[in-house]
Homo-oligomer: A and B are copies of this chain.
Amino acid sequence: MNSFGRIFRISIFGESHGPSLGILIDGVMPGLDLQVEDFLPDLEKRKAGAKGTTPRKESDMPIIESGVFNGKTTGAPLMIRFLNENTRSKDYSSLISTPRPGHADYTARVKYKGYNDYRGGGHFSGRLTLCLVAAGVVAKKMLNANITASIESLGGSTDIESKIDEAIAAHNSIGGVVKVKIKGIDKGLGEPFFDSVESVLSHLIFSIGGVKGIEFGLGFRGEKLFGSEFNDKFIDKEGHTDTNNNGGINGGISNGNDIDIRVFVKPTPSIGVPQPTFNFKTNKVEDLLIAGRHDRAIILRIVPVIEAVCAIGLVDLALINKAYN
């Protein structure tokens, strides 16, 4: 259940406070140049440290355990791992009885019958997105496309800087919208059932903690349009269209125009003000003040993760398409 993909197949492991976390990538073509340095720019984008992000600092240096020889991929499974170095596990001990609102503490305990590693969210920690970013670096090398994600709005505003300040001042958190633009993607990717481009990308994007909405092209914003207005008209033999309300996808298949996606990321659930929650020890609703180090706007760190999973999904669709065509 912790894997995805048919040919370019990723399997993830690790917990926030365990020895290490990582990702196993299958279906990597042999002969790609790959070294630790290649991962650093994308990992840096995701890293903590900017205003609004948690002060927990990790070196986040990828360790390549397999699948690379003499600086090139071998075609064998590629294993990339990261150490957990800067953990402060004692912060989390109270979470056993008082699940944090908006977090997976409660559902994890129910699902795993209390055996889950609750420290820092365990396997549900946002820290695991580090692994997705690493796999995305490999995927991008195999993909014929340019993927750019960026913050479109924060707390409903495009004045993003001031919204962060506002959240910091309130010891609170905010969410926002990430827009993704994918240029130069091959036509014909995706499958009619059930692996439409939208299906595969949403599957991956919704596996990132905090994502609660996705739209392709105009999405919900097109609800007042007539069909004559929403339809994108083909204007040349390359399949270019005058508008791109369908976000580059017709019938689940890429049409060669830009793939446009918008992703809603909810406010970080961990906040610096007390919140009521049910205390399973006292059997009462009581206020909880969450200790530990957290992000004011997890969305800031999700941007490179979304780019990564888009690359992961699209490269798999491209390999499948290549296989039987």
Task: Give how many A residues have a beta carbon under 8 Å from the other chain's beta carbons.
Answer: 153
Binds B, one of A14-22, A47-55, A300-308: A14-22
Do B18 and A9 touch across chains, with their CB atoms under 8 A apart?
A: no
Q: Count this chain's copies in the assembly.
A: 4
What B residues does A241 contact at CB under 8 A? 101
A50 to chain B, nearest CB (A): 18
User: Min CB distance, A189 to chain B, in Å?
Assistant: 8
Complex CA–CA separation, A79 to B81 (angstroms): 11
A-B CB proximity, top 5 nearest: A104-B251, A173-B227, A213-B215, A107-B253, A213-B219
A319 at the interface (CB under 8 A from B): yes
CB of B324 within 8 A of CB of A175, answer: no
Q: List 29 A-B contacts (CB under 8 A).
A: A7-B7, A69-B115, A73-B115, A74-B112, A74-B116, A101-B232, A101-B233, A102-B227, A102-B230, A102-B231, A111-B188, A113-B325, A121-B251, A128-B193, A155-B226, A156-B224, A172-B227, A177-B223, A194-B207, A212-B219, A213-B213, A213-B214, A213-B219, A214-B215, A228-B273, A230-B266, A230-B269, A231-B267, A233-B277
> In the bound complex, how far is the Cα of B113 from the Cα of A73, in angstroms?
11
Contacting pair A251 B103 (CB below 8 A): yes
Interface centre among A67, A254, A270 (most CB of B within 10 A): A67
When distances are taken between beta carbons in the complex, the residues of chain B under 8 Å from A229 are 267
Q: Is there a chain B Cβ closer than 8 Å to A123's Cβ? A: yes
Q: Is A106 interfacial (CB-CB < 8 Å)?
A: yes
- A146 an interface residue at 8 Å Cβ cutoff? no
Decide yes or no whether A28 CB sits under 8 A from chain B.
yes
A36 within 8 A of B: no
Q: A30 near B194 (CB under 8 angstroms)?
A: no
